[in-house]
Structure 1
Amino acid sequence: MKPAVQVLSTTEIAKIQEASLSILHEIGMRLPLEKVQSSLKDAGCTIDGDVVKIPPAVVGQAIKTAPKRDQVVLFARDPRFDVSFAAHDPALACMTMATNVIDPHTGVKRPAVTTDLVKLVRIADRLDFVRVNGGLVTPQEIPGKVNDWYTWASCIKNSVKHITGGVLDGRCVRDSARMAALACGGEEQFRRRPSISGWVLTLPPLGIDPGSLEALVEMASLNIPAIVSSGPILGATSPVTMAGTIAQAHAEILACLVVSQLTSPGAPFVYTSFARGMDMRSGNVSMAGPEFAALKVAMAQMGRSLELPIRMPAMLRDAKTLDAQAGFETGMVASLASCGADIMDSMQLDMDIVVDYADLVFCNECMTALNRFNKGVTVGDDHIALEVIRSVGPGGTYLAHEHTMKNFRDELWHPELLERRNWERWEADGSRDIRTVSLEKCLELMELEPRDYPPPPVRDEIDRIVEQARLDYEA
């Protein structure tokens, strides 16, 4: 049996689902795009300015046409790295849009630049349990309006894995798709295997900005998976109670699901939520508190009740450095979230605005342990091993037994970086802490060449798309 964590009962999930449907039908959601409002009106919704009231039947139809977990694949440029949701096999994804890095050579925090982004993408491309790549940092030397274009170009040119990124608007979706198509061999290949997905963030309470809504429509039209998240803050942009926040966040995601499925029935849709709490003393949000962990489990349950693929943030620590606090926050949130989430956003510190190069390797190591934990316990005759116990008998040893040699690699997790040697051997090896060990491994990975660098003509064409966007948006 595999481990399971629940904070909501079946009855409570149904009650929250009912409340979310009431929110959409009776209160509505701001959907400020005329073509979206027109299609919603045709479907039977009520329009009052920018606020759309969506009947339960319309939501039900969207749930029916949305592809289920076993039908969604996040395709990679290299098919070896495709991500399937058919079975629960949790892994990491690069979170996006941090603004600072901890320099791997000086240890000093500084603004992130494009060279950092390229290095981080290449490192993530080499880590086995980072299955979805992306722009961990947003280069701060790039003008804000075209930041997404530069980030997409850097990711697409330096990774063969599936990539998720921010999309400013519909044009950004189209240009990102053009870049990805160039890298994977043409538009026909991209249509069959779209190798990118885009973030769509709602604007709590009960809204979404026009650019994000336009991007959602464009992704559905192009069959690009939409990673849709509501990220309310308890007591600020949603009720301070977790149940109220879950109901509101779920309603916002359902509204986006309706838009996606009305645009293109069967468009791939991934459910996620950054619902989080606020530290009422400092005014800062918390991306790693116990409320955050409970909300990740609850929101994953709500998404799973619809049979949708689940992506949840799980390693976005409040800690400023890779210290004991970061370790505790990683263990608490990620352990709980991994039981319900298929993909977990990770590898950021300081409430998701700082990236430490060493943290990529550390999070990957943690994920190997969580992956083993989620395999659970296999119970069968060979695993109960009654005959083995009988043959060894009281006072014997299993160390040299054939059963041990046959099964120990599958049953026992063996870390690559975490310390298990005795004190003397660890001390003789330099008494290095986990950040030091992780950084050393990270520096080794930085020296490796990309797996499959697109040829110069492709890279040049990708850069031309970015440059044209810069000229147009700065005009």
Structure 2
Amino acid sequence: MGVGSSHGNGLYFRTLTEKQAEEIHLASCQILEETGLIIHHEEAVEILRSAGARVAGGNRVCFPSFLIKQALQSAPSRVTLYNRKGEAALYLEGTNVYFGTGSDTLNYLDPFSRERRSWRQADVAQAVRICDALPNIDFVMSMGFLSDVEPPMINREQYALMVQNTMKPQVVIAEDGDTLLDIIEMAAVAVGGKERLRQKPLFMIYTEPTSPLQQPRESVDKLLLAAEHGVPTNFACGGVAGASVPTTVGGALVLANAEALSGLILHQLKAPGAPFIYGYGNSPLDMRTMQAVYATPEAILFQGGMVDLAHYYRLPSWGYAGCCNSKVCDEQALMESTQFTLMGALQGCNIMHDVFYMEFGLTGSLELLVISNEVIGRTKRLLKGIDTDRESLGVEAIRRVGPGGNFLGDDHTADHFRENWQADLSDFNSFEGWTESGSLTMIERARTRIKDILATYQPESLPEDVKAGIASILRKARAKFGESV
């Protein structure tokens, strides 16, 4: 474990040694070879059997090591996500870091009424607009579970709200393969066709195994469809340490890694070279409260181990940041979410979600989202490190100013002071200046920022024919479920 130089001028934090990464890899290989997984999907079992896996009892699959090696060789080490205009936005490789929100919180912490309530479509649309306006939120997820939509349509309606209210890339949740196909259709309409979407993917799909050691039918459907359509995919164990994965950080890494590799193998057998983002999450179980908790030291170490394994495998990584266990946006919320954000960035996790999650992921807070945008901005500046070119070292400026002078009037200051990080929410006034400005706390300033964005900011609108195409896809889906069109 230690801190050192990254590929650029900044810093990184390494959790595992190379030897430890190899030990975890070999232990995961042993689990895959000897214990295997139950796979609830006939086509997937046959794909694996044909490739040389051993199948027992109909759907208990054991994976020989050559399949693991083969999958790691065929999976790309770099995945790019694009914005709605087709411009490259996220380069998922190396130690590049990007941040975005999470999906499907049940409760919305209304920043205006202070009420904790269910999400409605208008809430999600507003939240996505705010994400589009915040410069350090790099991608968007659905954020809230819609209470005013019938269950079969929720993920579809969420995606329609996302794609119409942000230019940024998305990470999507789909309840099954049919839902994913409709999301692909909507994204294709938005960007100009399925081939363009394949070449310049606008979103990635997040799907999960069921720990311990099972692949559900719906998850595998999405995994195979995504591979077939060239949709970037993350097959991520959402482990609860002490319940669905071992309580030790090392044991949780071994099991989650085995499950991720099992998904990678199947994904690459379906479509060699299809884009796959490696990673998973772990929430330790607090045995006093029986809650799965975020941002504890063990959760952060687990993520660091996962990122080091991603580097070991030369795969893009997926993780967490900006989330907490607090029930309101308070000191605990900011402590936990900030530490997770900073450490995830120093670990070099490529794409980190769940910014704005509170209450173990049950509640979403726009105040936390806006404050986290500032935390992420501070963090990204930190990662840039120190420039040591001749101009930055300022030798000539120091010579000009000389002993006893000052740098306020020197050209070097005028040329470079704007390069320093600038606060959006943080208050740098004196006590008197702060008092004259209303004595607002950080939370109060965040609420004001939310109001300002909603009052003044509009995302770039989709053309009317594109909106009509998305609406048509939604109507067809509603009709399929017997709802009013």
Aligned to 1:62, which of 67, 71, 74?
Answer: 71
**1:138 matched to which residue of 2?**
145
**2:415 matched to which residue of 1?**
406
**1:466 matched to which residue of 2?**
474
**2:47 matched to which residue of 1?**
39
**1:420 matched to which residue of 2?**
428
1:62-111, Cα deviation, whole Å (9 max, x unpaired): 11111112xx1111112446211356442311211111111232111111
Aligned to 2:344, which of 337, 345, 358?
Answer: 337
**2:259 matched to which residue of 1?**
252
Question: Contact 2:318/2:350 (CA < 8 Å) preserved in 1?
Answer: yes
- What secondary structure sits across from 2:205 in the alignment? strand
Question: Contact 2:21/2:309 (CA < 8 Å) preserved in 1?
Answer: yes
Question: Contact 2:163/2:187 (CA < 8 Å) preserved in 1?
Answer: yes
**1:269 matched to which residue of 2?**
276
**Cα 1:408–1:80 shift into 2, 3 Å:** farther
**Cα 1:261–1:371 shift into 2, 3 Å:** same
- What secondary structure sits across from 1:82 in the alignment? strand
Question: 2:311, 2:38 → 1: CA distance?
Answer: 25
1:171-216, Cα deviation, whole Å (9 max, x unpaired): 1121101011111122232232221211111211112211011101
**2:295 matched to which residue of 1?**
288
Residue 189, structure 1, aligned to residue 196, structure 2: yes
Residue 429, structure 1, aligned to residue 402, structure 2: no
Aligned to 2:356, which of 325, 330, 347?
Answer: 347
1:204-247, Cα deviation, whole Å (9 max, x unpaired): 11122110111010001000001221111111111111000011
Residue 154, structure 1, aligned to residue 161, structure 2: yes
Deviation at 1:117, TM superposition (A): 0.8
**1:27 matched to which residue of 2?**
35
Question: 2:18, 2:239 → 1: CA distance?
Answer: 23
Question: 1:78, 1:457 → 2: CA distance?
Answer: 16
Question: 2:316, 2:70 → 1: CA distance?
Answer: 18
Question: Contact 1:89/1:374 (CA < 8 Å) preserved in 2?
Answer: no
1:245-285, Cα deviation, whole Å (9 max, x unpaired): 01111111111111111111111111222212011111111
Question: 2:325, 2:175 → 1: CA distance?
Answer: 27
- What secondary structure sits across from 2:181 in the alignment? helix
The two structures have a TM-score, normalised by structure 2, of 0.93
- What secondary structure sits across from 1:52 in the alignment? strand
Q: How does 1:61-460 map to 2 (within 5 A)?
A: 61-69=70-78, 72-80=79-87, 82-86=89-93, 88-339=95-346, 340-345=348-353, 346-410=355-419, 412-448=420-456, 450-460=458-468
Deviation at 1:124, TM superposition (A): 0.8
Question: 2:227, 2:27 → 1: CA distance?
Answer: 27
Question: 1:452, 1:414 → 2: CA distance?
Answer: 26
**Cα 1:378–1:424 shift into 2, 3 Å:** same
Question: 1:81, 1:60 → 2: CA distance?
Answer: 30
Of 83-92 and 295-304, more deviation after overlay is shown by 83-92
Amino acid at match of 1:26: E
Name stretches of at least 5 consecutive residues in structure 1 with no aligned partner.
none
CA RMSD, 1 decimal: 1.8
Question: Contact 2:323/2:340 (CA < 8 Å) preserved in 1?
Answer: no
1:290-340, Cα deviation, whole Å (9 max, x unpaired): 211111111111112111112211111111111111111122111111121
1:47-69, Cα deviation, whole Å (9 max, x unpaired): 12322111111011111111112
